[in-house]
Structure 1
Amino acid sequence: MASIKEFQVTFDCADPERVARFWCEVLGYVRPTPPSGFASWDDYDRSLPSEERGAWSACQDPAGVGPRLYFQRVPEGKVVKNRVHLDVRVGTGLVGEERVARLEAECARLVALGGVRVRLLLADEHNESCLHMLDVEGNEFCLD
């Protein structure tokens, strides 16, 4: 049986372009190249029937290492806690006050982009500190 190595993470959302722009900034990702024959994603979007315009967006790791993120418009809003979330690894190898300072600095950058700080979870006997946040549409993620 073959082992699957590639996957994408899909987000349901109201405004795929807005959420994709936020995550591009969080992760240093980029938008994929527009389809052949289109100079920009806006040109491509204008070619679609009106009900399909803005229905999805995506971003990808420019180095091709990390998973692709896909954002699809859905009619319903988010109503419960995510069952899966991303941990953005900004404090790897750091401990104590140095780790917390790094988490707080990244949190401040992401709040300026529209993210929301929820709470800092301080280290205990089993886990290092992490910072719980929400993206621009309320999807949970952690700075870890």
Structure 2
Amino acid sequence: MSSIKQVQITFDCAEPERVARFWCEVLGYVGPPLPEGFATWDDFDRSLPPGHQGPASASCADPSGVGPRLYFQRVPEGKVVKNRVHLDVRVGTGLVGEERVATLEAECARLVALGAVRVRLLLADEDNESCLVMQDVEGNEFCLD
């Protein structure tokens, strides 16, 4: 039996490029290289036949090759319920108490400036450290952990 070597995380969304740009900024990821002969993605898009213009998908990847590739595909329906799967952005690993909360809050402020929405701070209890629940630019939930 073979083992899985890579995982791609796929997001359904209305605006693939916008969501991809957001997650590139959050994670320090990069988009794919431009197709040969094109100076910008807009130039490439304009070269496509009518009816095929406008990105149906976008992606970004960890430049070190360690993290999973993120893929964003346009779908006609909007998000209507809570995610069944979400990303945990690990910014407070190893921190506890007020130091952890301060780190989560600082990253939250950075991401809000990028278009994220703060949902709620979950303070530490006897089982879990504090985390901050947020939404990306299209309302997909994620946690700062």
Query: What TM-score do you get using the length of structure 1 for normalisation?
Result: 0.95
CA distance, structure 2, for counterparts of residue 46 and residue 84 of structure 1 = 35
1:6 is the counterpart of 2:6: yes
SS of the residue aligned with 1:51?
Answer: coil
SS of the residue aligned with 1:50?
Answer: coil
CA distance, structure 1, for counterparts of residue 38 and residue 98 of structure 2 = 49
1:129-144 residue pairs with structure 2 within 5 A? 129-144=130-145
CA distance, structure 1, for counterparts of residue 115 and residue 33 of structure 2 = 25
Deviations 1:33-66 (A, max 9, x none): 1234433322322222333322111111111110
Matched pairs, number: 144
1:70-85 residue pairs with structure 2 within 5 A? 70-85=71-86
1:1-144 residue pairs with structure 2 within 5 A? 1-52=1-52, 53-144=54-145
Query: What TM-score do you get using the length of structure 2 for normalisation?
Result: 0.94
SS of the residue aligned with 1:24?
Answer: helix
SS of the residue aligned with 1:79?
Answer: coil
Deviation of 1:31 after TM superposition, in Å, equals 0.6
RMSD: 1.1
CA distance, structure 1, for counterparts of residue 40 and residue 80 of structure 2 = 34
Change (3 A) 1:85 1:51: farther
Deviations 1:63-115 (A, max 9, x none): 11101111111110000000000000000010000000000000000001100
| Partner AA of 2:49 in structure 1 | P
